[in-house]
């Protein structure tokens, strides 16, 4: 009887640990497709994020030239957006280059097949959105790309506002929540904020990185191939003046990508826009 109780406690404990790990651990991936000017390249890419071990990434590609070595990198945008953009940076405040990126270069065998795998202690952020194979015979032009999307592309995200380290005085009282829901129709944002000073002016935007990574980085751009900093290409929330709290619920036709990672509240002061408070947009579903 006692033994049975112990066994059931152990089983319960095991499932709790498994459930909490599962929430942050997930597998994603996709198939390679060639960019324009290239054909015949096929294969697949997988990314496994585990809270315990970091990140495991593997790629398998065919349709390459036998004996040739190819540069392969994790990129920061989906394949269809600005040709996957630039390289994913482990630390966006550090120098670009191999030590701060995820490189998976390989050499094709006689049949034109190649594969590689990397295991990192770094837990890849959601902005690790694709993998590109580059053409060594054309100055590293992008040849083929695979998206690293989770199975459920549409999801709910949520986080609580917390002050940045530099916030002081009344700015420390700002609290609330930010929610984001993506669907085939677009993206809904709900913000509930309180603790504002009626005498101050504020503005809020969707930012590129989690709150703890380079203080949420720059602004999320609807189209990253256009110039940054224009309101029509970003997601801005107007915070009315002379209020201590505000709520907003807006839906935009754009479907937010995984690089929409936080909402920042700035103060508007002469000559600047200091970042006061930030809410991470974390996926709330565990089944990806």
Binding site for Cu ion (CB under 5 A): 205, 264
Q: Minimum CB separation from Cu ion for residue 264, in Å?
A: 5
The three-class DSSP label of residue 56 is strand
Tally Cβ neighbours within 10 Å of residue 166: 10
Q: Minimum CB separation from Cu ion for residue 39, in Å?
A: 42
In degrees, rounded to 5, the angle at the alpha carbon of residue 78 between the alpha carbons of residues 138 and 256 is 155
Nearer to Cu ion, 142 or 205 (CB): 205
Nearer to Cu ion, 110 or 227 (CB): 227
Nearer to Cu ion, 41 or 265 (CB): 265
Q: If 0-12 CB within 10 Å is exposed, 13-18 middle and 19+ buried, where does residue 209 land?
A: buried
DSSP class of residue 193 equals E
Nearer to Cu ion, 233 or 284 (CB): 233
Q: Minimum CB separation from Cu ion for residue 129, in Å?
A: 21
CB-based burial, 95-128: b 16+ in 10 Å, e otherwise: eeeeebbbebebebeeebbbebeeeeeebbbbbb
Q: Minimum CB separation from Cu ion for residue 234, in Å?
A: 8
Q: Minimum CB separation from Cu ion for residue 168, in Å?
A: 19
Residue 231 — left, alpha, or beta (φ > 0 → left; ψ -120 to 50 → alpha)?
alpha
Nearer to Cu ion, 45 or 216 (CB): 216
């Amino acid at each position: 009887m006692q033994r049975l109780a112990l066994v059931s406690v152990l089983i319960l404990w095991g499932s709790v640990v498994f459930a909490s790990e599962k929430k942050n651990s997930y597998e994603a991936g996709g198939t390679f497709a060639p960019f324009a000017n290239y054909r015949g390249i096929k294969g697949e890419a997988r990314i496994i994020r585990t809270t315990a071990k970091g990140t495991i990434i593997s790629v398998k590609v065919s349709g390459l030239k036998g004996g040739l070595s190819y540069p392969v990198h994790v990129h920061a945008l989906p394949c269809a957006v600005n040709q996957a953009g630039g390289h994913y940076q482990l630390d966006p405040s550090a120098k670009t280059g191999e030590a701060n990126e995820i490189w998976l270069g390989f050499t094709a065998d006689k049949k034109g097949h190649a594969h590689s795998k990397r295991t990192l202690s770094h837990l890849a952020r959601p902005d690790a959105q694709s993998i590109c194979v580059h053409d060594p015979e054309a100055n590293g032009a992008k040849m083929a790309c695979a998206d690293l999307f989770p199975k459920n592309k549409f999801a709910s995200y949520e986080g609580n506002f917390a002050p940045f380290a530099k916030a002081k005085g009344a700015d420390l009282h700002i609290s609330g929540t930010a929610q984001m829901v993506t669907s085939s129709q677009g993206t809904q944002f709900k913000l509930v904020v309180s603790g504002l000073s009626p005498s101050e002016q504020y503005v809020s935007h969707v930012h590129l990185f989690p709150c703890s990574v380079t203080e949420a980085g720059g602004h999320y751009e609807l189209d990253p191939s256009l110039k940054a900093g224009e309101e029509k290409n970003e997601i801005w929330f107007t915070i009315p003046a002379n209020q201590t709290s505000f709520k907003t619920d807006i839906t935009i036709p754009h479907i937010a990508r995984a690089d929409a990672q936080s909402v920042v509240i700035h103060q508007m002061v002469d000559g600047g826009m200091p970042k006061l408070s930030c809410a991470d947009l974390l996926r709330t579903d565990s089944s990806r």
